[in-house]
Amino acid sequence: MNKKENENLETEEVVEEQVVEPEEELVEEQAAEPEEEPVVIDPIKVLEDERDGFKDKWMRAAAETENVRKRGRRDVQDSRTFAVADMARDLLEVLDNFDRALLVEDDSAIRAGVEMTAGSLKNMLASRGIKKIDVKVGDEFDPNKHEAVARFKSEEVESNCIVDVVQNGYNMGELVLRAARVAVAE
């Protein structure tokens, strides 16, 4: 035998010694572990659960879509309302100037023209839902629709009641465009 064959024989002997029977180890491991019952998965139940999950997601998406539509409509309406409100506030100053012009006692044609123009402006504002806030002397002061510009002692009206209307207020629906400026009794 030559040297190479001798080495091969020695290696084979070492390999034969290290070979372990795998079947014996498996039998020992299986004997140590208790047998578990196999889990039975019902494919119909799995599909029903999956269907219910998709249905829930679909319903939530549909509800969210409807909420977005409603919010969009409300935002568009609010934008229109506030755009009209800004324009109306500017026109109220013009209306105030017409009212001041009409305080002058004059029977000329100019006065008649101012009256017609002021009436036309008032009609246009009313057609847009803009109305004068009804304020009378003796009404109780309401900070939601009145702005106190002065306080006076008065024996004619009770405390915290309106003594005089300095400037008319206007609202558009529930929105107060301009609070009525009033003098209030102390």
pLDDT at 19 over 80: no
Q: What is the per-residue pLDDT across 27-54, written as a single tens digit (0 to 9) for each?
A: 555 555 556 778 888 999 999 999 999 9
DSSP 31-91: HHSPPPPPPPP-HHHHHHHHHHHHHHHHHHHHHHHHHHHHHHHHHHHHHHHHHHHHHHHHH
| Greatest mean pLDDT among 8-22, 63-77, 115-129 | 63-77
Backbone dihedral angles phi then psi of residue 49, each to the nearest 5 degrees: -65, -40
Q: Check: CB of residue 181 under 8 Å from CB of residue 169.
A: yes
pLDDT digits (tens, 9 = 90+) for 106-156: 778 888 888 888 888 889 888 888 999 999 998 999 999 999 999 988 888
Residue 21: per-residue pLDDT: 52
Strand residue runs (E) in 107-153 = 130-132, 146-152
Contacts of 165 (CB under 8 A, 6+ apart): 135, 137, 180, 181, 182
Return the higher-pLDDT residue of 81 and 179.
179
Residues 181 and 164: beta-carbon distance below 8 Å? no
* Whether the predicted pLDDT of 13 surpasses 60: no
